[in-house]
Amino acid sequence: MTTTTHETAAPAAELMLGDDAVAFAALHAGIHNAYAYPGTPSTEIFARVIRETKDGGEVVAHWCANEKSAYEGAIGASLAGRRALVTMKHVGLNVAMDPFVNSALLGLGGGLVVAVADDPGMHSSQNEQDSRCLAEFARVPCLEPATPQEAYDMTREAFALSERCQVPVVLRLVTRLCHERARVRVRPAEPPKPLHKAGPRQDWVLLPANARRLFDGLLAEQPELRAASERSPYNRRTGGAGRRGVLTTGIGRRYLGEVLPEMREPPPHLHIATYPLPEALVRAFAADLDEVLVLEDGYPFVERSLRGLLPEACRVLGRESGALPASGELNVVNVRAALGLPALPLHEAAGLQLPARPPRLCDGCVHRDSYAAMLQVMQDTGIGAVTGDIGCYTLGALPPYQAIDSCVCMGASIGMAKGASDAGLRPAIAVIGDSTFLHSGIPPLVDAIAHDTDMTVLILDNETTAMTGGQPTELPDSRLLPVVLGLGADPAHVHVFQAHPRKVPELAALIRKEVAHPGLSLIVVRRECVQTASARRKHEG
Ligand code: SF4
């Protein structure tokens, strides 16, 4: 049976994840294209889109090599007049930053919504950057839902806003919302937008003469974006007495709601869900207040904006003032303290000793073989630099292997190994997974090949994107070798090694030989991730 976008089957008031709510809303908004690179906590949005569209229909939904190519796909769809959803985790937006910022200048055709999942508290991320800052940097609107229902409603709204103002709209999510389940009431779906090429051409060609004009246009659009934010029904003021107000954003409102019954009088409260900051609304709210406490997850984004916006006599409290911790998530404990409520009694289970459960590589994981071999080599050759990357194999930095010196961002292992080798730190070994290599490892490998840098690259090919749940790697494994050789790597020093625990000494010997080679060498160590292998076998019956 062929389905179309508006026939996806989420019944009204269905229990769903916050991530699911975004996916259903985008499908019900009539998207034609959807692109993503997996990253916790955003992965489930796209997994849901794929699940709902896999049986056919008009929606084109593809995992991509990285967030930049995903975002560029969405711009292309917009050029074709189609609505497009692109999803990623917060650090993924750094990778997509170039097309993201520049797309704000284009006269977008179809609505373009970028759903970005931030990770305050860094549950599975290398930083806790706040995507509201990046939306402001690009001068585009940002919507910040507080519940799965709002995630649904605001995603629908975001497409309309994107088309009305011809700019991309950021939907900012956080981990707790992405992974929360709640009942969500959905609305009738819209038909997809027809194919209609957006124009004129000079609005899409960012030559300096056009770009100057288009940037002026983006600046001229700002009052309308602010006005839309001032009008938004998602920004709500609720009553309350006293001269100490509370301003919440995102799920900060939920924490306030949790402790409100304990407060003698509910404080004056303003909830902000849309950016640019609705300044008039904020000023009116604070007009009779001596103090505003800002409860926001992430950076002190609103708190900073209030300083300079409100009269000096009005104290602004939040993460930057020290009223709340500067890092980590909001929670009931720190929100209670900021509101002056007594701490909750802690109930300790006396004498209960829970064993520590540090993260570890699965039993039978192919990466264990690679690290066991590397340790043998490093015992002989000494340790120069082993630069790591993002993926399950990052766990090689922890006991029992402790074999990795660095893990910075997607693809950094190869560029850093080159830099370390250039600086004289040898042997230099880069460890990178197959998916991460395709995401961001190819350009630094081009540099290393061009200069025949004295370093060894280990591509740990587990035939999947394991860490985010086993999404397919963009190219099949058989294509890795042609890619590497096509870039110009010396075939005499490029190897594919089929790993097995019994072959660790053989792998060690190969690494030892290539580490001794005074130029670039590359070894693809291959065996399927045991988790995806077992899921595949189950699927195949
Ligand atoms: S999920 Fe796969 S790649 Fe990751 S640690 Fe487990 S076996 Fe290894």
Q: Is residue 347 part of a domain?
A: no
* Domain final residue, candidates 231, 264, 299: 231
Q: Do 393 and 460 fall into the same domain? A: yes
Looking at residue 9, its pLDDT comes to 55
For 34-93, the pLDDT digits (tens) are 999 999 999 999 999 999 998 888 999 999 999 999 999 999 999 999 999 999 999 999
**What separation in angstroms does the CA of 336 have from each of 40, 44, 264, 273, 348?**
28, 32, 14, 22, 20
Please tell me the distance between residue 441's alpha carbon and the centre of ligand 1 in angstroms.
20
For 225-256, the pLDDT digits (tens) are 999 999 999 999 997 889 999 999 999 999 99
Q: Do 137 and 150 fall into the same domain? A: yes
For 273-303, the pLDDT digits (tens) are 999 999 999 999 999 999 999 999 999 999 9
Task: Write the DSSP symbol of residue 206.
Answer: -
Q: Is residue 131 part of a domain?
A: yes
Q: Do 436 and 472 fall into the same domain? A: yes
From the CA of 462, give the closest atom in ligand 1: 3
From the CA of 532, give the closest atom in ligand 1: 2
DSSP 120-135: TT-SSSS----HHHHH
Q: Do 380 and 325 fall into the same domain? A: no
Q: Is residue 351 part of a domain?
A: no
> Ligand 1 pocket check: which of 360, 362, 525 to mutate, most ligand atoms within 8 Å of Cβ?
362
Q: Do 269 and 384 fall into the same domain? A: no
Please tell me the distance between residue 514's alpha carbon and the centre of ligand 1 in angstroms.
26
* Domain final residue, candidates 297, 320, 338: 338
Looking at residue 273, its pLDDT comes to 98
- Of residues 323 and 477, more confidence is placed in 323
Q: Do 268 and 377 fall into the same domain? A: no
Say if CB 108 and CB 86 are below 8 A apart. no
**CB under 6 Å to ligand 1: residues?**
361-362, 365, 367, 392, 462, 466, 529-531
From the CA of 391, give the closest atom in ligand 1: 4
**Residue nearest atom 5 in ligand 1 by C-alpha distance:** 361
On the question of pLDDT at 434 being above 50, the answer is: yes
Q: Do 241 and 224 fall into the same domain? A: no
Looking at residue 11, its pLDDT comes to 56
**Residue nearest atom 8 in ligand 1 by C-alpha distance:** 365
How many domains are there within the chain? 3
Q: Is residue 357 part of a domain?
A: no
Please tell me the distance between residue 531's alpha carbon and the centre of ligand 1 in angstroms.
6
Question: Rounded to the nearest 5 degrees, what angle is found at the Cα of 297, between the Cα atoms of 262 and 252?
Answer: 30
Q: Is residue 314 part of a domain?
A: yes
From the CA of 470, give the closest atom in ligand 1: 1
Looking at residue 10, its pLDDT comes to 54
CATH code assigned at 63 = 3.40.50.970
Domain containing residue 63:
5-231
For 184-238, the pLDDT digits (tens) are 999 999 999 999 999 899 999 999 999 999 999 999 999 999 999 999 999 999 9
Q: Is residue 138 part of a domain?
A: yes
Q: What is residue 429's three-state secondary structure?
A: strand
Q: Do 161 and 100 fall into the same domain? A: yes
* Domain final residue, candidates 193, 213, 231: 231
Task: Write the DSSP symbol of residue 356.
Answer: P
Q: Is residue 104 part of a domain?
A: yes
Q: Could you tell me where the beta strands, DSSP code E, fall in 485-532?
A: 494-498, 520-526
Task: Give the separation between CA 403 and CA 393, rounded to whole angstroms.
Answer: 10
For 108-138, the pLDDT digits (tens) are 999 999 999 999 999 999 999 999 999 999 9
Q: How confident is the model at residue 143 (pLDDT cuts 50, 70, 90)?
A: very high
Please tell me the distance between residue 364's alpha carbon and the centre of ligand 1 in angstroms.
8
Q: Do 426 and 441 fall into the same domain? A: yes
Q: Is residue 93 part of a domain?
A: yes
- Of residues 374 and 359, more confidence is placed in 374
Looking at residue 361, its pLDDT comes to 93
Q: Do 117 and 216 fall into the same domain? A: yes
Q: Do 207 and 306 fall into the same domain? A: no
